[in-house]
Structure 1
């Protein structure tokens, strides 16, 4: 089952976000930030040291390569010097204009002066045929066209390969000469030629010869001469115990370089460095050198210094982390714990010590001063709040007493009035005043100055209305209170209490005439959406029929409904009245929630 590309992208993005979140959490703490600062501060120095160490290490690794390059250059210099020296001797003899016998004797003298180092020194005629020769090599092969100089003073140098391997092992150096007659006059032209061995023997070199440095017995440098196709090699030193051939992969590399016409190049491998170069006479030589003891020691010391630097850096970071934990993070944690304890109502207590930084000590001191100041303000506010609550309770108590006095005066005045309608108006006003007095008594007696428990309040209010009308003891009307345990602010409790007083009074007076029995239901509950519902229902004869049977005036009934509707508008609710199997008032209004801070207080 294939995964949609969008899901795959979403998964990668989620992983990236989680990675960034984890990294952010690491650097969100003081420890992580201090570690980052230390790393950033140490990074330039570490980078400079690493660059210098790598440069030194690289130079150490390349030092064998430099030596092999220098060996190729020295070989070329020595071959050039020796060939030029031999050519100078031959040219000096050629300028003497001796006859054939005199030139032959002079060549013997040259051979003896050079320590019989050369394989052959010979005189050839103008056609290249050997006329006289001295030396261990008695080969009388005529000179070829390539081996003959083109003009007087020209020096011709040609490499002579070995007949079996094809590797150059000798150089032939040829100069033009003039052969004189017995009187010393120029008689005919000819050539002086010498065959110089390409390989060296340490036994034939003098003590001061610089080539001895290159041909130490089992020394760090080995040199090979290669054929023109880099397929065969021969050691340059015949008695230095060098290997006969370099490794096969080095020969492959050498063939690649020769095939592409590279004049000089080198390669460095773990076992040593190799250089290839073209020297005198277009001959390719291959040199090899290994690291000496000092270079091996330098490589080992580089590895040791690298490990040591890493360990020291790690130890430094751990030490800095521990120091930061002791000197910075722990004081900050103590300060944070004290602040959290103070927020939960505890005592703020942070004692400064030498381990705290100056800034943390100053911050702790500032917090101490601020918390002491806030504690004083809180105590003053608590005392003020206590005084305010006492004043409010006293005010509600006096208002309740005054309202009870007003209700008593209204009751006395109603007893002196003989007209039933007027007496009923006084009784209705008395009930409203008593309802307000009951509300104020709840406010100061229960200590709930900012909210009112409607369950107990409505129950007591309805019982008080029935008792005032004279129905509480007879049991003719059953009171069914269905009020939830609901808190309401006084601003809404006052009009709601007046609505309940007016509606319950009308129901008791008109819904059950002629001593009828019935049930009066009063309910209040909270609805979804921050609303509440108040209903007052009875199973009596209905408001209209009750008024007709009791002979009540329509004016009073109309005023009661106007009061109920007015208080409903004050609550911002919707009032509905249903007259089916009795009368039912339904009021839905928005419920204001008491302030949580005031409830907490």
Structure 2
């Protein structure tokens, strides 16, 4: 490549990914994929852990509520079961029974609404609060439940008949011999007792607590809002399971976490905790981590791009510019600013060594070509001299012959040899041993033929040449010289008999990759050629035309016209160098 040549312009994708910088950037990007995956997975795990904090907080609140409310209900169970196991409440006077139950209620009036005793059919026997004896409570849900199970049972949330406040009743059976039901002892727990704030919990913030009974009725505690309840489908699922944590949209559209646990068969406690702040914080933390990851990766890629540009791409571009500016025959000087990696410096030194080897090889080839030129010049000079000697001998020999026909044949042979001698003289005079410029050669050849055959002002025969200055290989030039010699010689010998004057035109034009040669005269035509009739001249013309790679078109109605179209044979540089090696 010489200094004036420009490198080929690559296509756009190759320009981006074909260079060292693009490939290293692609490799670095591929290497960051596992890092980005791990960091993204950690960010997502932290996000999920932050989202799971809401259900965990709800579970903590539930455990606190279950512990306190469960303890209150268990205390009610123990008190009522203890009264039932004593069994003497049915054996004493109703007034004494009323007094005992009233004293028991007075011990914790803020917790228990009332205590009472019923007979096996559910009629009131005695009560801690004044109430008419004998009134039937068989319609309440807990009476038939105890009659069936002979065990402690909680009733549904209800409004106490005597206290007119929301209570949770619990009833235990009084059993006689053979587990026969003798009566029932009941007590009711103020639901207001459950409404106290849960203090000492590990979770701050407003939350809601509900109790769900066996019929699916929901009792809110304190400031619990219905809008904070889960959707009906989730609430129904909670009613079918004993313990569960979940998170989702509440009925008012806010994000909540819920936790549920069964306190007693048919009685569940549900805690709801708003988690919108936690969800927003988790999302913000996720976005922040993803942004940090993106900035980190962008910074890494930027550093890689700058590093590759400074350490690799720039030294390679400098090296490429020096190679493009290098001309064969001149040394490739080392780069004084070579600060790139070792591989680039090694490549620089290798290219310098290759350039030096090419220079030495070029000098050797140049010397070989000079020697070849001298040798070829000497060969062509000697061939020209030998051919001229042969032509002179033929001319001398023709002078000793007495037969005009024999003299004519010797003259034809002399002209052919003389044409070849002229060709070889042009080859070594113009120092072009493989190609020859046609116009000066044709002018000398036609002048030589005219002198030999008597053409000139006195003969009345003129030779006109209209030829472009083109070059042909020596092989084609030999065939062309012999073809022109034969055609012009035939025209001068046979086209103008008896001193008839005329003109011989020789034209040669390039048409694309072909050459058109036309030789015509205004003589008598083909009827006057070669009286002996053997037609050797025409056969030679056709043979020379075929050797040129074309064919001869010969017409002789009004004078003779010979047209030959043949291709130009280009000898490749490889063939030239192979011949010089």
Could you tell me which of 398, 418, 429 is aligned with 1:434? 418
Gaps of 5+ in 2: 1-10
Give the CA deviation at 1:215. Answer: 11
Could you tell me which of 32, 35, 43 is aligned with 1:42? 32
1:147 aligns with 2:127: no
1:120 aligns with 2:114: yes
CA distance in 1, matches of 2:54, 2:211: 19
Gaps of 5+ in 1: 1-20, 181-185, 206-210, 548-552
Normalised to the residue count of structure 2, the TM-score between the two structures is 0.82
Structure-1 residue corresponding to 2:7: none
SS at match of 2:112: coil
1:509 aligns with 2:513: no
Give the CA deviation at 1:319. Answer: 0.7
Alpha-carbon spacing, 1:187–1:265, altered in 2? closer, same or farther (3 Å):
closer
SS at match of 1:83: helix
Could you tell me which of 170, 192, 196 is aligned with 2:167? 170
1:195 aligns with 2:185: no
Are the counterparts in 1 of residues 69 and 194 from structure 2 also a CA contact under 8 Å?
Answer: no
SS at match of 2:457: coil
SS at match of 1:95: helix
Are the counterparts in 2 of residues 223 and 236 from structure 1 also a CA contact under 8 Å?
Answer: yes
Are the counterparts in 2 of residues 523 and 534 from structure 1 also a CA contact under 8 Å?
Answer: yes
Q: Deviations over 1:198-232 (max 9, x none)?
A: 344666x8xxxxx424699x8342224468898x9
Are the counterparts in 1 of residues 331 and 352 from structure 2 also a CA contact under 8 Å?
Answer: no
Higher relative contact order (CA 8 A, sep 6+): 2
Are the counterparts in 2 of residues 568 and 574 from structure 1 also a CA contact under 8 Å?
Answer: yes
1:355 aligns with 2:339: yes
**Size of the alignment, in residue pairs?**
550
Q: 1:192-231 counterparts in 2 under 5 A?
A: 192-200=185-193, 211-213=198-200, 219-225=205-211
Structure-1 residue corresponding to 2:22: 32
CA distance in 2, matches of 1:367, 1:575: 55
Give the CA deviation at 1:94. Answer: 1.5
Are the counterparts in 2 of residues 487 and 594 from structure 1 also a CA contact under 8 Å?
Answer: no
Q: Deviations over 1:530-563 (max 9, x none)?
A: 554433221211243365xxxxx517x6443343
Structure-2 residue corresponding to 1:11: none
Could you tell me which of 157, 177, 180 is aligned with 1:160? 157
Give the CA deviation at 1:268. Answer: 3.5
CA distance in 1, matches of 2:330, 2:453: 56
Could you tell me which of 40, 53, 58 is aligned with 1:68? 58
Structure-1 residue corresponding to 2:236: 258
RMSD: 3.8
Structure-2 residue corresponding to 1:539: 522
Are the counterparts in 2 of residues 463 and 472 from structure 1 also a CA contact under 8 Å?
Answer: no
SS at match of 1:540: coil
CA distance in 2, matches of 1:382, 1:421: 52
Are the counterparts in 2 of residues 119 and 136 from structure 1 also a CA contact under 8 Å?
Answer: no
Give the CA deviation at 1:468. Answer: 1.8
CA distance in 2, matches of 1:213, 1:421: 146
SS at match of 1:348: coil
Give the CA deviation at 1:398. Answer: 2.5
CA distance in 2, matches of 1:598, 1:215: 96
Q: 1:314-329 counterparts in 2 under 5 A?
A: 314-329=298-313
Are the counterparts in 2 of residues 94 and 192 from structure 1 also a CA contact under 8 Å?
Answer: yes
Structure-2 residue corresponding to 1:108: 102
1:423 aligns with 2:396: no
Are the counterparts in 2 of residues 179 and 188 from structure 1 also a CA contact under 8 Å?
Answer: yes
Alpha-carbon spacing, 1:455–1:187, altered in 2? closer, same or farther (3 Å):
closer
Normalised to the residue count of structure 1, the TM-score between the two structures is 0.80
Give the CA deviation at 1:580. Answer: 0.4
SS at match of 2:227: coil
Structure-2 residue corresponding to 1:575: 552
Give the CA deviation at 1:318. Answer: 0.2
Q: 1:252-331 counterparts in 2 under 5 A?
A: 253-254=231-232, 257-258=235-236, 262-263=240-241, 264=244, 266-268=246-248, 271-275=254-258, 277=260, 279-280=262-263, 282-283=266-267, 286-291=270-275, 300-331=284-315
1:585 aligns with 2:572: no
Structure-2 residue corresponding to 1:7: none
Q: 1:493-508 counterparts in 2 under 5 A?
A: 493-508=477-492
SS at match of 1:491: helix
Are the counterparts in 1 of residues 526 and 557 from structure 2 also a CA contact under 8 Å?
Answer: no
Alpha-carbon spacing, 1:179–1:562, altered in 2? closer, same or farther (3 Å):
closer
CA distance in 2, matches of 1:141, 1:71: 41
Q: Deviations over 1:428-486 (max 9, x none)?
A: 22211221121112211222211122233223312221122221233722323243443
Alpha-carbon spacing, 1:56–1:352, altered in 2? closer, same or farther (3 Å):
farther
Structure-2 residue corresponding to 1:15: none
Q: 1:353-432 counterparts in 2 under 5 A?
A: 355-432=339-416
Q: 1:1-40 counterparts in 2 under 5 A?
A: 25-40=15-30
Q: Deviations over 1:262-315 (max 9, x none)?
A: 534522359542326463353565533245999876665544333222212211
Are the counterparts in 2 of residues 532 and 588 from structure 1 also a CA contact under 8 Å?
Answer: yes
| Deviates further, 47-56 or 451-460 | 451-460
